Structure 1
């Protein structure tokens, strides 16, 4: 009996120690990211992902940093390098957490980075995939404000491209903003989007 208790205590102690290391690493990575040390943050998230192979968030954040850093690039080789790395880590995150709406909309954002770089080259193949991703994510998480906002923004972009009004999607942005106000999330979970929703709604009001 004593051996069993000792083994249980050792297991619990190891789990607490492991969680402590995870927390320390994640906090440091977010600090680096907040200080705009994106490469260092990405590298630290990668090390955490390799050490914590049951956690999808470190891989998700590696991908996020690479995707965001690809917007505005003029060199296609650099773009491909960043987005290839992002895709590798998104795939890891998907393998840990399948059917995750946060990962789905990040995949759509990755596709959008390609489209933003060269709409003629990538638009035909990736636009349809994005529509599917946003619709599937919305079915899985109809009250997730990032999903609602992402889909609304994508729909607005599509409407502009085809010369159609974007007003119908303003109500979806309003809905997303209301949900942002109520949102309570686990530690390290994606929390972005509220400021973006406010900015889009401001534009909606100006266009009325």
Structure 2
């Protein structure tokens, strides 16, 4: 799981680090992405927070605050620290959703927060949050069946569930392949919008062929 987190962070940074900043908003976002590139995720999160306070109509700063805190929660064993990070992630992804409702990119991060709790203590959180994640991925797919991150994330979740119940992951390998086809033609709305996932899909596909 830690390897997955590191890979995802790298992918996110790679997709947004070269912003040609113009407005103050873009300059601030560029500074945050630069800090993330320097492996300073929480410093980046602080910058995103300052941007979010000023840019009340922008969902992306909240999205990245939530993403940073969620991804960096995998592997945390201190429950107090974990709770602080995931509560912050939850707060900001809900703020993002208020600004941009029914956004599949946001729904994916909501599911990631749940997955972090499950990874920490599956016995306590597994049953209820797994059900919620199944609903979240279903909703995201209904909203954006051709979004490569939605297809990839849903397939990965389904593969994890299949493994847990001792079932074959093969039915979901076609979904991973489809996500790669979608990544090939996907164009983000801007350099600041989510575009991560292609390399992750390639990694997951190796599991199918391994």
Q: TM-score under structure 1 normalisation? A: 0.89
d(CA) in 2 for partners of 1:200 and 1:94? 28
1:111 partnered with 2:122:
no
Q: Deviations over 1:107-165 (max 9, x none)?
A: 00000000001000001110000000000100100100000000000000000000000
- Measured after TM superposition, the shift of residue 203 of structure 1 is 1.6
d(CA) in 2 for partners of 1:158 and 1:91? 26
Which of structure 1's runs of 4+ aligned residues deviate more than 3 A?
A: none
- Measured after TM superposition, the shift of residue 34 of structure 1 is 1.0
- Measured after TM superposition, the shift of residue 39 of structure 1 is 1.4
Structure 1, unaligned runs of 5 or more: 1-18
Count of aligned pairs: 188
1:150 partnered with 2:150:
no
For 2:194, the equivalent position in structure 1 comes to 190
Q: Aligned with 1:53: secondary structure?
A: coil
> CA RMSD, aligned part only?
0.8
Q: Bigger relative contact order, structure 1 or 2, given CA contacts below 8 A and separation 6+?
A: 2
Larger radius of gyration: 1
d(CA) in 2 for partners of 1:82 and 1:199? 27
d(CA) in 2 for partners of 1:43 and 1:183? 30
Greater share of helix: 1
Q: TM-score under structure 2 normalisation? A: 0.88
Match 2:52 to one of 21, 39, 49: 49
1:73 partnered with 2:82:
no
Q: Aligned with 1:90: secondary structure?
A: helix
For 1:7, the equivalent position in structure 2 comes to none
Q: Aligned with 2:113: secondary structure?
A: helix
- Measured after TM superposition, the shift of residue 191 of structure 1 is 1.0
For 2:5, the equivalent position in structure 1 comes to none
